[in-house]
Amino acid sequence: MNSKLLSKLGWKPGRTMLAMGRPETLMHFEPFPSAPETGPVDLLLGFAARSVDVAVLLDALLPRYARSNRLWLAYPKRSGAIRSDLSRDAGWEALVPHDLLPVTQVALDATWSALRFRYRDEIRTLTRKGA
């Protein structure tokens, strides 16, 4: 993956990263940095085409998430070719029982955006309506 995009996600050399469900549209980038097989990972990135995919990703990613690290979930942009029930504001119900809230959004490419999620108690000031 290119360094500019990795930087957007908060990754720095020497840190670990785990990506799951990487789509074909992002295969042209350099390989993602690798993560150890067990234990916490500095940056987690999961790709979900639909809201039903989010729960599956969480089952795999949350055991590897450590507070203050970065958990990103990518979803198809509405303007892209992939039809999805996910958007910045909808489709994330699977995160509610975990008390995870979106805090940052970035564009990955013309098709994919990603939201960074944090536990509610990690967020100093809640500014979202209904948070």
For the stretch 62-111, pLDDT in tens is 999 998 899 999 999 999 889 999 999 999 999 999 999 999 999 998 89
Calpha distance 15→35 (Å, rounded): 9
The mean per-residue pLDDT over the stretch 42-69 comes to: 94
Which two tokens mark 20?
Answer: 């799951």
Could you give the percent of the chain with pLDDT greater than 70?
Answer: 89
Q: Has residue 57 got a pLDDT over 90?
A: yes
Answer for the pair 86, 112: CB distance below 8 angstroms, yes or no: no
Domains and CATH numbers, the chain: 3-122 (3.40.50.150)
pLDDT at 13: 84
Q: Has residue 130 got a pLDDT over 70?
A: no
Calpha distance 73→102 (Å, rounded): 9
pLDDT at 33: 66
Using DSSP's 3-state secondary structure scheme, residue 108 falls into coil
